[in-house]
């Protein structure tokens, strides 16, 4: 019988569906080792911190690595591998003091140059990091990503073994929060040099967080064990942790109910009411800071026309989607940045406060101006990764576009790894789930 039971539902806020923020779950009791079997959704695409782009991989990487900063239970910025920092009066120069007891999982010392190497690797076009753009506030980062400058031009430098300096191009109040993201993790340089593209495999991966990677069985699980050299090792409560890969969320719920999993944060939305009524003492709901959205291919017609994009966005009844399609507490978002981001003033699309009828009148006008009508309807595909939850949203959006504009939209599901590859080639898709 498993010793810990938690079914956690991080609420997402719907933009073209969503946004929010998740608190960590810890068992009661002392720091003695407890085996944790965690449901983790689909197979991670990679455990390379600078290339990862899926939630499953991010969950594992947060246990394997520690960034300069971390997040507290209320999503506030707290010290991570850096014990303190100073910000210049102009808001441009950040100086970090690293913990002198920080160690890699092989016992080696974590130094400032490891963070410099990690950030340079992220912005290097050869890495092809999806999240390289989060470093655009750093001086020269965008020019490096676009191939105009070498990675060494990034304004991040080691002052000595335990002090790091980062210079921004303009004041960025939310910058400290970015440094907890996996793209900002350090890299063990010797391991990368020795193993190259295979450095993120069991037996090769050397990390600086509370755990170390020991096993990865494809389509089964990833196993991580305690990093005995971690600075706060005495407070690591799980050893080992198994992250179980289950593509189908209904199957993941069945595995949880069969006591094969201690924890899962993915449930079928259609089962939410039943879960709340029958597993209420095991269900915990917490905000999750993210935005669920669809992306358009802007590289060629028809979505290079802003009128068409806005018409499609305005023709969706987001409140109906959050209230009736997903229905587990999401909030309709009216910008790409969700509410609740620290030091961000917030933004709403100018048309967000129009009533439903006014939105549709404007959406239809823009649709006609873009060259479409009942006799000449837009025909598109909506691609999403395999999931009953994603399918329900795609079907609802397709129906709304049909009813409100006459658009013929065909939802098309792909396995997540296939979807990630698809989106690398804009000409291969028209509308695709990104959030």
| Structural domains of the chain sorted by starting position, each given as residue range(s) with its CATH number in brackets | 23-264 (3.90.76.10), 288-433 (3.10.105.10)
What pLDDT is attached to residue 261? 95
What pLDDT is attached to residue 59? 94
**Which distant-in-sequence residues (6+ apart) come within 8 Å of 37 by Cβ?**
2, 241, 242, 244, 260, 261, 262, 263
What pLDDT is attached to residue 32? 55
What pLDDT is attached to residue 6? 57
CA distances from 418 to 111, 197, 249, 415, 423 (A): 37, 20, 18, 5, 9
What pLDDT is attached to residue 33? 63
What pLDDT is attached to residue 346? 75
What pLDDT is attached to residue 221? 97
Q: What is the pTM of this model?
A: 0.81
What pLDDT is attached to residue 363? 97
What pLDDT is attached to residue 102? 96
**Which distant-in-sequence residues (6+ apart) come within 8 Å of 149 by Cβ?**
140, 143
Taking only the tens place, the pLDDT of each residue in 111-159 is: 999 999 999 999 999 999 999 999 999 999 999 999 999 999 999 999 9
350: left (phi over 0), alpha (psi -120 to 50) or beta: alpha
What pLDDT is attached to residue 95? 98
What pLDDT is attached to residue 19? 25
Please give the sequence-ordered ranges of beta strands (E in DSSP) within 176-247, or none if there are none: 211-217, 221-226, 238-244
What pLDDT is attached to residue 287? 75
pLDDT lower than 70: segments of the chain: 1-33, 342, 435
Consecutive H or E run containing 175: helix 175-178
* Pair of tokens at residue 134: 């989060």
Taking only the tens place, the pLDDT of each residue in 282-310 is: 988 877 778 889 999 998 899 999 999 99
What pLDDT is attached to residue 192? 97
Helix axes 388-405, 249-257, angle to 10 degrees: 140
In the block, which residue shows the tokens 């304004």?
Answer: 155
Rounded (10°) CA dihedral 211, 215, 216, 219: -110
For the beta carbon of residue 418, count every other beta carbon within 10 angstroms.
13
């Amino acid at each position: 019988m498993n010793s810990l039971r938690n079914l956690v539902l991080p609420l997402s806020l719907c933009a073209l569906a969503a946004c929010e923020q998740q608190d960590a779950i810890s068992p009661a009791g002392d720091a003695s080792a407890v085996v944790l079997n965690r449901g983790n959704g689909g197979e991670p695409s990679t455990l390379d911190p600078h290339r990862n782009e899926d939630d499953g991989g991010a969950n594992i990487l947060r246990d394997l690595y520690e960034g300069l900063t971390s997040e507290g239970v209320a999503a506030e910025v707290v010290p991570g591998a850096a014990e303190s920092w100073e910000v210049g009066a102009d808001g441009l120069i950040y100086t970090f003091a690293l913990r002198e007891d920080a160690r890699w999982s092989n016992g080696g010392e974590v130094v400032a140059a490891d963070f410099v190497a990690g950030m340079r690797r992220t912005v290097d076009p050869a890495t092809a990091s999806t999240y390289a753009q989060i470093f655009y506030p750093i001086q020269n980062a965008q020019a490096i990503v676009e191939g105009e400058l070498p990675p060494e031009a990034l304004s991040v430098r080691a002052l000595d073994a335990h002090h790091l300096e980062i210079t921004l191009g303009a004041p960025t109040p939310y910058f400290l929060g970015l440094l907890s993201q996996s793209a900002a993790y350090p890299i063990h340089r010797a391991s990368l040099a020795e193993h190259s593209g295979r450095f993120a495999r069991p037996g090769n991966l050397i990390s600086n967080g509370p755990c170390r990677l020991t096993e990865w069985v494809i389509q089964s699980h990833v196993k991580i064990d305690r990093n005995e050299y971690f600075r706060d090792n005495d407070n690591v409560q799980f050893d080992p942790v198994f992250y179980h890969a289950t593509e189908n969320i209904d199957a993941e719920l069945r595995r949880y109910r069969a006591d094969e999993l201690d924890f899962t944060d993915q449930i079928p939305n259609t089962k939410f009411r039943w879960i709340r009524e029958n597993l209420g003492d095991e269900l915990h709901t917490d905000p999750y800071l993210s935005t669920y959205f669809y992306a358009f291919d802007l590289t060629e017609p028809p979505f290079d026309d802003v009128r068409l994009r806005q018409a499609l966005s305005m023709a969706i009844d987001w409140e109906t989607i959050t209230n009736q399609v997903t229905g587990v507490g999401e909030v309709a978002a009216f910008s790409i940045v969700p509410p609740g981001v620290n030091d961000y003033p917030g933004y709403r699309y100018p048309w967000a406060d129009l009533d439903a009828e006014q939105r549709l009148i404007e959406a239809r006008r823009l649709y006609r101006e873009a060259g479409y009508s009942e006799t000449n309807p837009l025909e598109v595909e909506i691609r999403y990764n395999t999931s009953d939850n994603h399918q329900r949203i795609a079907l609802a959006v397709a129906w709304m576009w049909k009813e409100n504009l006459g658009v013929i939209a065909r939802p098309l599901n792909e396995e997540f790894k296939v979807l990630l590859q698809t989106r690398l080639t804009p000409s291969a898709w028209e509308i695709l789930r990104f959030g």
